[in-house]
Structure 1
Amino acid sequence: MASADCTLQLTCSACLNIFTDPVTLRCGHNICKVCIERVLETHEGSGVYTCPDCREEFQECPVMYRNKSLSNKPDNFLSTQPQQQETGMFCTYCIHSPVPAVKSCLICEAFLCDDHLRVHSKSEEHVLSDPNTSLENRKCSIHKKVLEFYCFEDASYVCVYCTATQHSGHQVELLNEASRKKKEELRHVLEELISKKSEDEERVRSLQKQGVVLQQKAGGLTERVNKLFTDVRKQADVLEEKVLSEISRQVDQASRPLHDLIQQLDIRKDKLSGKICDIEELCNVTDPLPVLQEQESEMGDLFDSKDQEIDSKCSAALCTLDEDLISHTLQTGLAEIVIAAYKGIFMREGSEILLDENTAGNNLVVLTDLKSVYWTEIHQHRPKTPQRFKDHQVLSSTSFSTGRHFWAVETSKSGNWRIGMSYPSIARKGFRSYIGCNRRSWGLCKWNNQYSVMHGCKETKLSHKISCHRFGVFLDFEAGQMSFYELCDPIRHLHTFTATFTEPLHAVIRVWLDSYGGAWIILRNNDY
Structure 2
Amino acid sequence: MATENLGDSSQLKLKSHRCLYCKAVGSKLCLDCEAYLCRDHLEAHNSVGQHTLTELITDMQTRKCATHQKLLKYNCCVDNVYVCEFCVVVGDHVGHNVEVISDKSVAVKSSLKELVDNLIAQCKEFENHIREAAATKDDIHKRADDLQRQVTMMITDLKQELEGEGEKILSEIRNQVQEEDLKIHRFLSKKKEEKLKLIAQVDEIRDFLNTTDPMTILEKGTPSINKTKMLIDEVQGRLEDTGLNVLLVTVHLESGLIKVIKRIPQLQKNHGFAVQNLIHIMLRNANDPTEGQASELGSLMDSSLNSKEKHCTSLTYSSTAISSGQHYWEVETSDLPSWSVGVSYSQNKDCNLGDNDDSWCMSYYKMGQYAVVNNGVKTSVSTSSPIEALGIYLDYEAGNLCFFQLANPIKHLHTEFATFTSPVYAAFSISKKGWINLR
* TM-score, structure 1 as length reference: 0.41
* Larger relative helix fraction: 2
* TM-score, structure 2 as length reference: 0.47
